[in-house]
Structures are given as structure tokens and as C-alpha cells.
């Protein structure tokens, strides 16, 4: 949401996502005996919540760049 005003947040977020992804793969491979059984409900709820993120970035970015 604040990426337009502070672009350094994009590489920080990319590093954070890569770090979480790699640690989840490591934990799944070495520590968990069976992966959790998940259905599509978790994915559908996440997509519903995150569908507003581009709109929030657009409005907040315009507000930060317009300097009003």
C-alpha cells in the first residue's frame, strides 16, 4: 500500500516472501510428517481479501505522489 511513496518496500517484501517460501519448503521436507489437508476455501478467502490491494495501492499512491 505504501510502495508508491517508499519504493524500497518492494525489494524488502520480495525478500520476505522468498524467505517465508523457502522456510516453509524446508519445514515441510524435514519437520512435518504429513502436510496439512487444505481445501480451496483458504485460497478463495485469501483472493477475496487481497483483491482490494491493487485499488488501495492506487488510491494511496496517488495521494502520496500528488502532494496535496
| Domain regions of the chain by residue span | 9-66
**pLDDT for residue 3:** 80
Whether this model's pTM surpasses 0.95: no
**pLDDT, the chain, mean:** 87
Please name the residue that has the C-alpha cell 502520496. 64
Using pLDDT thresholds of 50, 70 and 90, give the confidence band for residue 12: very high
Using pLDDT thresholds of 50, 70 and 90, give the confidence band for residue 50: very high
Could you give the maximum distance between any two Cα atoms of the chain, in Å? Answer: 55
Residue 30 to residue 4: CA distance in whole angstroms: 39
Using pLDDT thresholds of 50, 70 and 90, give the confidence band for residue 15: very high
Amino acid at each position: 500500500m505504501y510502495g508508491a511513496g517508499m519504493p524500497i518496500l518492494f525489494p524488502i517484501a520480495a525478500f520476505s516472501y522468498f524467505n517465508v517460501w523457502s522456510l516453509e519448503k524446508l519445514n515441510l521436507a524435514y519437520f512435518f510428517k504429513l502436510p496439512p489437508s487444505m481445501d480451496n476455501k483458504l485460497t478463495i478467502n485469501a483472493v477475496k481479501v487481497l483483491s482490494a490491494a491493487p485499488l488501495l495501492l492506487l488510491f494511496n499512491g496517488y495521494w502520496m505522489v500528488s502532494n496535496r
